[in-house]
Amino acid sequence: MTTINLPDADVPELSGTVNLADLEALGRARLDRNALEYYASGANDEVTLRANREGFRAIRLRPRVLVDVSNVDVRTEVLGLPLACPVGIAPSAFHGLAHETAERGTARAAASAGSLMTLSTFSNTPIEDVARDAVGRLWFQLYPYTDREASADLVRRAEAAGARALVVTVDAPFVGRREPNERHRFALPPHLGVPNAGSREHLARMESESGSQLVNYFQGLVDKAFTWADLAWLRSVTTLPIVLKGILTAEDALLAAEHGAHVWVSNHGGRQLDTAVSSIEALPEVVEAVEGRVEVYLDGGVTRGTDVLKAVALGARAVFLGRAALWGLAAGGEAGVRRTLDLLQDELRLALALCGKQNIGQVGRDLVRL
């Protein structure tokens, strides 16, 4: 497949963006209703969707002064992989709705920024193609299928392609009710497929006279009986570290650690169970429960460098961007995603300096007031 290059010069509007809100506005303006509603919608009344942002706003920082911050270092690492800053890309389906480069554009941006991309099972691009562009900076997200051998094949493909971890989404045995998608019958346009989750023809057969095509497809694909006991089977088919994405309680975090899995705090961007606790609210009890035995990550509502700083202060090793990366992709393809990551890194560096911290390792609970 030929690589498509989109330098900043080809997207002059990006130079005028100074924060992620600017990129979101630009990205939204370039999407049709089908794509915009799919990316933007939350479950039901979108209470949890809003709470993800409000949770960060409610936390206050406690800056220290008279510290030498002439050289501030925002680098960290996740599962041994160095990151330029504690920000990665969360798994999200159908990047092809945002831009013609789809997941490959996102992967190239993450790689060039020294970040990390998590590829969704429901990507519009084959694992192998994305892995080549990610150049070692790739995790793969899995929805456990009812067909165990199909799941095992996906995992083996991801591992062979160079994925460094397996992220299992555990909060979606059913798809949350996203009413705009139901009302307007969300469907993929004809030119997009789901090469890691079945054929285009299979997807078309799941269409019905009402509702979201994704919901209709998903319901027959994902194993609704997958439990903690099945993690042993998953470990038997891969040597990759396993991360469980969608944990919001101390009880489940403790179980994850006992099963040797890392913990990703997430409410699926407010798209699953409405009125569930926000990710940043859930983070402290999760961190306390695992007691440093496994790494902890977070997504949901991150749009500022101060959000990243607050999450790290509360014990997250890194945060991951869902919608924010998609808005960047829609705004300018690879260059738009890179702009998203660069803006957050710059904001984080400034926030760290203004809090009197010289590096990420110095950030702890003393930095925040809940």
Which residues are catalytic, by number? 268
Q: What is the DSSP string of 313-328?
A: HTT-SEEEESHHHHHH
Q: Outline where 246-322 has alpha helix (H).
A: 250-258, 279-290, 305-313
Q: Outline where 162-230 has alpha helix (H).
A: 179-183, 200-205, 213-219
Continuous segment of H or E residues that includes residue 150: helix 148-161
Q: How does strand 368-369 pair with strand 60-61? A: antiparallel
Of 330, 325, 326, residue with least CA distance to 6: 330
Buried b (16+ CB within 10 A) or exposed e, 151-166: bbebbebbbebbbbbb
Q: CB neighbours of 330 closer than 8 A, spacing ≥ 6?
A: 26, 27, 28, 30, 31, 35, 98, 99, 336
Structure tokens at 237: 């088919």
Cα separation, 141 vs 266, whole angstroms:
14
Structure tokens at 303: 């749009």
Cα separation, 214 vs 207, whole angstroms:
9
Cα separation, 264 vs 253, whole angstroms:
9
